[in-house]
Amino acid sequence: MPMSATGNRSAGYTLTEILVVVFIMGLTAGSVVLSLPESRSGLHDEALAFAARMELAAQESVMTGEIVGVTVSEADYGFYRYRRGRWLAMGRDSSFAPARWSDGTAVFIEREGTALDNLAGSKDRPDRIIPAIRFEPIGAATPFSVILSDADEEFRITGDAAGTITFEERRDG
């Protein structure tokens, strides 16, 4: 083995050198993780899920040839199918199971440009529920806008007469 002038071996790295390199790599990885954008909020996920379920309802109506209705209230929303002259809950299929809004979520509802307190119909009498948002088998739909907000964020889910659903994140400033 070659030896240096002082008589020490020159092959390899010392433990101290390896630890310094590992420490620098750790600092670099930590700074990268800290600079990543924040994860999405629960309200963001809830609004996206609502928009996706509305799109699914529109597609379900076209595929099955049946009118699909949606009720929306300040507390929850649900899906219905119009069959034999009645609105029937679609809750058996998990894709269309009723869902409650998270605590702290404020819901503002417009249908065809008019602000409404409630798009749910009569929940006291399930046989009289008339969903205010409807998706027709020909692809048409009731124009609507649902705004979900909390203290920090606001999201708007809209549907036009052609059944197109859009999702918009509204920011201050």
Residue with structure tokens 């040839």?
65
Apex CA 88: angle with CA 125 and CA 42, to 5°? 90
Whether the pLDDT of residue 65 is over 90: the answer is yes
Whether the pLDDT of residue 154 is over 70: the answer is yes
Q: Domain count of the chain?
A: 1
- Tell me which of 38 and 48 has the higher pLDDT: 48
Neighbour tally for 138: CB within 10 Å: 10
When pLDDT is averaged across residues 49-60 and rounded to a whole number, the result is 93
Give me the domain span that covers residue 149.
42-170
Residue 17 resides in a domain: no
Residue 37 resides in a domain: no
Tokens in use for 3? 């030896």
CATH label of the domain that carries residue 79: 3.55.40.10
How far is Cα 148 from Cα 43, in angstroms, rounded to an integer? 8
pLDDT digits (tens, 9 = 90+) for 116-150: 665 555 455 555 778 889 999 999 999 999 999 99
Q: What per-residue confidence (pLDDT) applies to 140? A: 93
Residue with structure tokens 């020159």?
10
Q: Which of 99-103, 111-115, 151-155 has the lowest mean pLDDT?
A: 111-115
State phi, psi for 62 to the nearest 5 degrees: -65, -45
Share of the chain above pLDDT 90, in %: 47
- Tell me which of 75 and 119 has the higher pLDDT: 75
Q: Identify the bridge partners of residue 143 per DSSP, sorted by sequence position.
A: none
150 contacts: CB under 8 Å, gap ≥ 6? 43, 104, 105, 106
Residue 3 resides in a domain: no
- Predicted TM-score (pTM) of the model is 0.71
